[in-house]
């Protein structure tokens, strides 16, 4: 006989889903990328979530980059719970999503160039970066004329101008919603569509990424809402900046794992450097507490032992000389 359950019993809480890291294979990961990957892994593992990877290869791809990125993540001690999802293999899923929106009258062709969009955004009363809906108002004759000039992208016909999401650090955040591109004029799914469809497919309910993408979250959450998909929770973390205060890039010198290795900085030293930037407290146990960086973690697993999301610095991580700074926190 099956066990009886009290009608007053509360349902068991739903198990946590997954976190993810989703780099574009356009080159080796730099220290800022590696820091975000480690944080995404730490947030997932510390909350009992699975951790997944996604190769976002719908744009520019450097041969061999995806493989090198996975090797670098493994070198830092990251693990993941399934084979990485590859976006270029997901065309049918994106097509289905567009068909769903089109059936509801929420898709239209857009023939605007980037220059036309920029000029519209710089005009009086134009919202910077937001698409003003130019092609939504075209007549059939105008569409046919524009179609002879260039292939069309597909845009979402948004029915509101703002959406609110919840971010762990920013709190309730309300941002602009506009007619985002769903499919580019080369026929490939656009970033905002692909990321929403793939997060839902992978069961991702926790998105950890750089805080430069916070303004994108309302657009993506709204699109998920229209598609009947669950909206994830967000954790936007500070970026890594170079000595000029600009976003860290590969051109800034010794900032990739391979470049640092060539300069004598090992993977464990890189983990220590990132741990100090969060900052993480020293590992418990014996150690020379008087030395700079003593007992800082050297692997992702050790980072997890002392990870405290409330201790995460809300300020950007400014890297003036990665080699010198790695030496400063070394044993």
109 carries a ligand binding annotation: no
C-alpha to C-alpha distance for 101 and 66, rounded to whole angstroms: 32
* Cα 105 to chain centroid, rounded: 29
C-alpha to C-alpha distance for 326 and 266, rounded to whole angstroms: 9
89 carries a ligand binding annotation: no
What does DSSP assign to residue 300?
A: H
327 carries a ligand binding annotation: no
> Position of tokens 């699109």?
223
Please report which residue ranges of 203-286 form alpha helices under DSSP H: 217-226, 257-262, 267-277
135 carries a ligand binding annotation: yes
131 carries a ligand binding annotation: yes
C-alpha to C-alpha distance for 278 and 314, rounded to whole angstroms: 9
pLDDT at 2 over 50: no
pLDDT at 123 over 60: no
> What are the residue ranges spanned by the domains of the chain?
90-237, 250-329
What proportion of the chain, given as a percentage, has pLDDT over 70? 89
pLDDT digits (tens, 9 = 90+) for 126-185: 455 578 888 998 988 999 999 898 899 999 999 999 999 999 999 999 999 999 999 999
In terms of average pLDDT, the best of 9-23, 59-73, 290-304 is: 59-73
21 carries a ligand binding annotation: yes
56 carries a ligand binding annotation: yes
* pLDDT recorded at residue 331: 60
250 carries a ligand binding annotation: yes
305 carries a ligand binding annotation: no
Domain 90-237 sits in which CATH superfamily? Answer: HUPs (3.40.50.620)
């Amino acid at each position: 006989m099956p066990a009886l359950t009290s009608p007053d019993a509360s349902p068991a809480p739903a198990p946590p889903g997954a976190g993810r890291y989703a780099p574009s294979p356009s080159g080796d990961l730099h220290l800022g990328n590696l820091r975000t990957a480690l944080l995404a892994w730490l947030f997932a593992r510390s909350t009992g979530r699975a951790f997944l990877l996604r190769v976002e290869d719908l744009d520019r791809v450097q041969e061999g980059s995806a493989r090198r990125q996975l090797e670098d993540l493994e070198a830092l001690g990251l693990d993941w719970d399934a084979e990485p999802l590859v976006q270029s293999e997901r065309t049918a899923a994106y097509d289905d999503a567009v068909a769903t929106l089109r059936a509801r009258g929420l898709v239209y062709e857009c023939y605007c160039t980037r220059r036309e969009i920029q000029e519209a955004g710089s005009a009086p009363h134009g919202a910077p970066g937001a698409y003003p809906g130019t092609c939504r108002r075209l007549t059939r004759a105008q569409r046919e004329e524009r179609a002879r000039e260039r292939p069309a992208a597909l845009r979402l016909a948004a029915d509101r101008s703002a959406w609110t999401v919840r971010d762990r650090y920013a709190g309730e955040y309300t941002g602009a919603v506009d007619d985002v591109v769903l499919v580019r004029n080369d026929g490939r799914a656009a970033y905002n569509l692909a990321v929403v469809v793939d997060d839902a497919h992978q069961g991702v309910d926790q998105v950890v990424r750089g805080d430069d993408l916070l303004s994108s979250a309302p657009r993506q959450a709204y699109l998920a809402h229209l598609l009947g998909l669950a909206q994830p929770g967000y954790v936007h973390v500070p970026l890594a900046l170079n000595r000029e205060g600009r976003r860290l890039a590969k051109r800034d010198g010794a900032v990739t794992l391979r470049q640092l290795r060539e300069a004598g900085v090992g993977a464990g030293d890189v983990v220590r450097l990132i741990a100090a930037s969060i900052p993480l407290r020293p590992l418990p146990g014996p150690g020379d507490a008087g030395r700079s960086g003593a007992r800082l973690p050297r692997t992702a697993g050790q980072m997890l032992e002392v990870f405290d999301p409330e201790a995460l610095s809300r300020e950007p991580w400014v890297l003036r000389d990665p080699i010198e700074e790695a030496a400063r926190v070394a044993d």
